[in-house]
Structure 1
Amino acid sequence: MQRLRIRHLTVYQFSGMVTLLPHRLLLRPREGHDVRIEASKLDISPAHRIKWHRDVFDNSVAVANFTETAQRLTIGSEVIIRHYEVAPLDFIVEDYAVHYPFEYLQEERVDLAPFQQPVYLDQQPVVRDWFNSLNLLRDKVETYVLLDRLNRIIAKEFRYVIREEPGVQPPEVTLAIRSGSCRDYATLFIETCRFLGLASRFVSGYSHVPELGPGGATTHAWAEVYLPGPGWKGFDPTAGELTGSRHIPVAVARHPEVVPPVAGSFVGPKGQIPMLTVDVQVTAL
């Protein structure tokens, strides 16, 4: 177990006064058997009211409604967690699902069906052709081994880039230019899993990188696949590894574009393009 302090500061600086419309914040980690929250606080300016709710995926969402105009928006989150995930390979897949292909149990299919449906349906032929070129199904293969190989291939054969542009690259683009950010890698992995009939979902959160020094961390994205037995297991195609103690999930979704940490809009003079700065620090306590 490790105790971690997560600090996430987002600042928008405008060239003039603006009216801030409601902002949706996904900054609170998902609690479970592996993550416990000890304390959390939000420090937001200008004046505002906060309402919390759980969305359809059980993500913890804060909605900030602002009560005054401003030239600067500051959103600071600080959370202290206990992280218990230390052995990501310590799981057993149910016998019927050990080897691919398999079918999910009837009682699970209705709930899993949305996570088997591609988001980029028109690009499934491109994803299919790419997957077939990998020749991963030439022999009988265990389901986990298939996913692990796919995860490692994306990490090894694509060039990682930091993209400041909002949104996610469609798989067709990632495959064409052979590069992308963590959210693009996760999307390609997810859409390939869905082509294979495996339920998968997008995860946004934080990656703790102690080797970067004190506070070393980034916002990060990866994928989860539903495996009978262990349930939702995380795969990080950016690193080519199973998720573990350095991965801190915040939100999950079927569609990769609906869970940014901060989302909102404003009304102001025409041509306003705010300057954005983001600082994320995760410190072991």
Structure 2
Amino acid sequence: MRADIRHITEYRYAEPAWDSFNEVRLSPEVSARQDLRSFHLAVRPEPSLVSTHRDYFGSLIHHVHVHEPHQVLRIEAQALVITRPLPGLETVPFSALDELRGEVTEFLVSSPRVPSGRWPEVFGVRAPQPHEDLSAFMVALTTQLHRQFTYHPGATSVSTTLEQFARDLRGVCQDYTHAMLGICRTLGIPARYVSGYLYSGGEMIGADATHAWVEVLIPGQGWVGFDPTNDMLAGEKHIKIGHGRDYPDVSPVRGTYYGGGGEASLNVEVRVYGDPPARQE
């Protein structure tokens, strides 16, 4: 599938700000399932410095420094991505994970936004038996959480804890993903947070901003994406930016500034245009 992406982040300040330093994670990754044909980052006012590096997890980060006084900071990213279909899931016993857990400890232990807890019990998820099919378990878990949670923008914020979400079960893709991560890691299933985009065509949830889903390590198949917000595997319509332990590892734009007269107002606009994948007969 071909996807043209336009992502605009705009900060407005009550008074002029200066020395604005921003860390931007908006460049889609290059992998076996997707090609990045082009990426362009435009910043207004003109930055005095733009540099790049890859973080611990391999995501490309742009560091943007705007030195001159400004009351509006606009960061626009444009990308052209080609995604490919993934093979179907294979039957894999849960016990097959035993040989892999030592290689991916960072995606099994607690993280700042996914603390240790009795998350399977909290969300009513039973632990699979060693002989059970891990792939089938993950598909069923994706469906269970999709039905159990209510998508409600505004019910939570980027600072909402997993404990708070567990009380109300209302939130957005970030909350769904943190909950699924907590369940998987508690059960010994390596799982990581994915940030990206979603080509919707008006039929899926979460296409009006950056989207989030879970990748689970399935022996013999690698990291496989599951999207509990839309009750589906992450396929051609999911465009990945990067992954980490939880949201702060892959937040799209974050930074600091001097001045500004208090907290800045934020507006984000995301548009994904594309040629949808052909229907499978």
TM-score normalized with structure 1 length = 0.87
Aligned equivalents of 2:68, 2:217: Cα separation in 1: 45
Q: Assess, with a 3 A threshold, how the Cα gap between structure 1 residues 164 and 26 changes in structure 2: closer, same or farther.
A: farther
Contact 2:142 2:232 survives alignment (8 Å): yes
Aligned equivalents of 1:226, 1:279: Cα separation in 2: 32
Aligned equivalents of 2:57, 2:63: Cα separation in 1: 16
Q: Could you tell me which residue of structure 2 aligns to residue 173 of structure 1?
A: 164
Q: 1:89 deviation in Å?
A: 4.9
Q: 1:122 deviation in Å?
A: 5.6
Q: Could you tell me which residue of structure 1 aligns to residue 222 of structure 2?
A: 231
SS of structure 1 residue aligned to 2:26: coil
Runs of 5+ in structure 2 lacking a partner?
276-281
Runs of 5+ in structure 1 lacking a partner?
none
Q: 1:15 deviation in Å?
A: 1.4
Contact 2:177 2:193 survives alignment (8 Å): yes
Contact 2:90 2:135 survives alignment (8 Å): no
Q: Could you tell me which residue of structure 2 aligns to residue 115 of structure 1?
A: 107
Q: Assess, with a 3 A threshold, how the Cα gap between structure 1 residues 38 and 196 changes in structure 2: closer, same or farther.
A: same
CA shift digits 1:191-248 (9 cap, x unpaired): 10000101110001111111369xx643100110011111110011111111001111
Aligned equivalents of 1:192, 1:102: Cα separation in 2: 18
Moved over 4 A (4+): 120-123
Q: 1:281 deviation in Å?
A: 0.8
Contact 2:24 2:62 survives alignment (8 Å): yes
Contact 1:209 1:217 survives alignment (8 Å): no
Q: 1:37 deviation in Å?
A: 1.3
Q: Could you tell me which residue of structure 1 aligns to residue 278 of structure 2?
A: none
Q: Could you tell me which residue of structure 2 aligns to residue 254 of structure 1?
A: 245
Aligned equivalents of 2:203, 2:89: Cα separation in 1: 30
**Alignment coverage as a number of residue pairs:** 271
Residue type at the aligned position of 2:105: A
Aligned equivalents of 1:157, 1:103: Cα separation in 2: 27
Does residue 144 in structure 1 map to residue 135 in structure 2?
A: yes
Contact 2:41 2:77 survives alignment (8 Å): yes
Aligned equivalents of 1:165, 1:137: Cα separation in 2: 30
Aligned equivalents of 1:269, 1:39: Cα separation in 2: 34
Q: Could you tell me which residue of structure 1 aligns to residue 22 of structure 2?
A: 23
Aligned equivalents of 1:60, 1:143: Cα separation in 2: 32
Aligned equivalents of 1:13, 1:122: Cα separation in 2: 34
Contact 1:12 1:72 survives alignment (8 Å): yes
Could you tell me which of 251, 263, 272 is aligned with 1:273?
263
Aligned equivalents of 1:269, 1:6: Cα separation in 2: 30
Aligned equivalents of 1:13, 1:246: Cα separation in 2: 32
Aligned equivalents of 1:168, 1:230: Cα separation in 2: 33
Q: Could you tell me which residue of structure 2 aligns to residue 202 of structure 1?
A: 193
Residue type at the aligned position of 1:13: R
Q: Give % identity.
A: 25
CA shift digits 1:155-209 (9 cap, x unpaired): 1111111138652533322221121210010000011000010111000111111
Could you tell me which of 153, 157, 166 is aligned with 2:148?
157
Q: Assess, with a 3 A threshold, how the Cα gap between structure 1 residues 80 and 122 changes in structure 2: closer, same or farther.
A: closer
Aligned equivalents of 1:197, 1:109: Cα separation in 2: 8
CA shift digits 1:93-117 (9 cap, x unpaired): 5xxxx12244432xx4443011110
Q: 1:140 deviation in Å?
A: 5.3
Aligned equivalents of 2:120, 2:89: Cα separation in 1: 29
Contact 2:9 2:266 survives alignment (8 Å): yes
Contact 2:5 2:270 survives alignment (8 Å): yes
Q: Could you tell me which residue of structure 1 aligns to residue 37 of structure 2?
A: 38
Does residue 263 in structure 1 map to residue 263 in structure 2?
A: no
SS of structure 2 residue aligned to 1:145: helix
Residue type at the aligned position of 1:100: F
Aligned equivalents of 1:142, 1:200: Cα separation in 2: 17
TM-score normalized with structure 2 length = 0.88
Q: Assess, with a 3 A threshold, how the Cα gap between structure 1 residues 3 and 269 changes in structure 2: closer, same or farther.
A: closer
Q: Could you tell me which residue of structure 1 aligns to residue 121 of structure 2?
A: 129
CA shift digits 1:39-88 (9 cap, x unpaired): 1111101121210111110001101012312111000111111111x2x4
Aligned equivalents of 2:71, 2:203: Cα separation in 1: 33
Q: Could you tell me which residue of structure 1 aligns to residue 94 of structure 2?
A: 100
Q: Assess, with a 3 A threshold, how the Cα gap between structure 1 residues 102 and 52 changes in structure 2: closer, same or farther.
A: same
Q: 1:265 deviation in Å?
A: 1.6
Q: 1:123 deviation in Å?
A: 4.8
